[in-house]
């Protein structure tokens, strides 16, 4: 049995303008369309851990594109986990 070892790559961090980074070179319409496929199929409570809020935390360019994509914000569920809604029973009717 022969074991292959590969030379370690150096880490490269790009610090230039976001318009020169791979996916950010796409037109904002296409990037916005990609973002719409990141939204969960089921309604989820708004959280910074899932799209669309997660997309807004990547960089300022993504935040701008996310805010300019209306489909991302067409449905947004917000829950108060500290105090349940007193009329929650009405939702099951």
pTM beyond 0.95: the answer is no
Longest dimension (CA), the chain: 68
pLDDT per residue rounded down to tens, the chain (93 residues): 555 555 555 555 556 665 556 888 899 999 999 999 998 887 667 778 888 999 999 999 999 999 999 999 887 666 666 655 555 555 555
Give, to the nearest 10 degrees, the angle between helix 28-36 and helix 60-67: 80
CA 38-84-39 angle, to 5 degrees, is 5
Residue 77, beta-bridge partner list: 45
**Structure tokens belonging to residue 64:** 């701008």
């Amino acid at each position: 049995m022969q074991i292959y070892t590969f030379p370690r790559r150096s880490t490269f961090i790009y610090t230039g303008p976001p318009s020169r980074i791979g996916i950010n070179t796409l037109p904002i319409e296409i990037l916005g369309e990609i973002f719409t496929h990141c939204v969960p199929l089921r309604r989820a409570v708004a959280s910074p851990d899932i799209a669309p809020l997660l997309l807004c935390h990547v960089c300022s360019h993504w935040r701008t594109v996310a805010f300019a994509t209306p489909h991302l914000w067409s449905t947004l569920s917000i829950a108060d986990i500290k105090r349940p809604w007193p009329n929650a029973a009405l939702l099951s009717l």
